[in-house]
Structure 1
């Protein structure tokens, strides 16, 4: 009887080990191990505006930040004036050679920006979501303004669900 119980326990344990995920770190960025979403962390967020003066808030001509998510750690994401030619919202910009992309949108006030993050998981499949990044804006010399992240990190939940209306 003892041999049968031990053998049965071994078989059950072996089967459950095979069914378990290969690594719990694969889901480290996902809250509650939800396979349908991912949390991305944003740090070092800064926006550069040119043409700012007493009558104009300026035009965004550069953005940069560091992103960490399920498939990236400390990934540098940035765009220069040549990539941000349309103002806000920007076009979708790729973070280096990764599967992460972003677009910068106007936020609820002049010192908050909305960051939309995309993560391509396969052909026409992926996660996306947006979150507000509060900043402190100050003179960057001449007619430039630099806005730097004040809350760090900012966590943005991205998923494959449609936007809520």
Structure 2
């Protein structure tokens, strides 16, 4: 007994038409890439300063950033600053971490949160001039503005 799915040329044409309509509706329903998603974000760091003790403990860090969603935004902390720990820049979507520099005394990582649990970050050593500060501390300040790039590769945090 022979079973034929498409019995006539008209059935074949209907099947082909319905298949094309189904494929076209899938293509239309596919989400488009986000418009305005910055491929690379340039961040300008201004007024960077730190104060640390002879044992290496950092008492304070402060800097201003100008970026895609920030205009001279202050980021800072006074008190015990833990290297590598992420600290919020006010109520913005930016945060920062102070780290030991690769070539300079200090480096900074700037984070930009794009969604609930995703974002991107960029790192840069900050060239500083360090001198004696109050009560045996050392104060380091940037010698001018520095820039870094936040890449567009999303990172899950």
Provide TM-score, normalisation by structure 2.
Answer: 0.69
- The one of 35, 39, 43 equivalent to 2:38 is 35
CA distance in 2, matches of 1:113, 1:162: 25
Cα drift, residue 125 of structure 1: 2.3
Render the CA deviation track for 1:76-120: whole Å, top value 9, x for unaligned: 0001214x1xx323x1000011000000110125x5211001001
Q: Could you say which residue in structure 1 is the equivalent of 2:119?
A: 126
- Larger-Rg structure: 2
Aligned twin of 1:157: 149
Matched, 1:75 2:73: yes
CA RMSD of aligned residues (A): 2.0
Runs of 4 or more above 2 Å deviation: 160-163
Paired with 1:41 and 1:112, the residues of 2 have a C-alpha distance of 19
Matches within 5 A, 1:1-165: 35-50=38-53, 52=54, 56=55, 58-82=56-80, 84=81, 87-89=82-84, 91-108=85-102, 111-150=104-143, 152-161=144-153
Alpha-carbon separation, structure 2, partners of 1:61 and 1:140: 12
TM-score (ref. length: structure 1): 0.66
Aligned residues: 120
Q: 1:94/1:120 Cα in 2 relative to 1: closer, same or farther (>3 Å)? A: same
**Aligned counterparts of 1:102 and 1:65: Cα–Cα separation in 2:** 10
Query: In the alignment, is the contact (CA less than 8 A) between 2:120 and 2:154 conserved in 1?
Result: no
* SS state at 1:142 partner: helix
Given that 1:126 and 1:159 are in contact with CA atoms closer than 8 Å, whether structure 2 keeps it comes out as no
Q: Could you say what secondary structure the match of 2:127 adopts?
A: strand
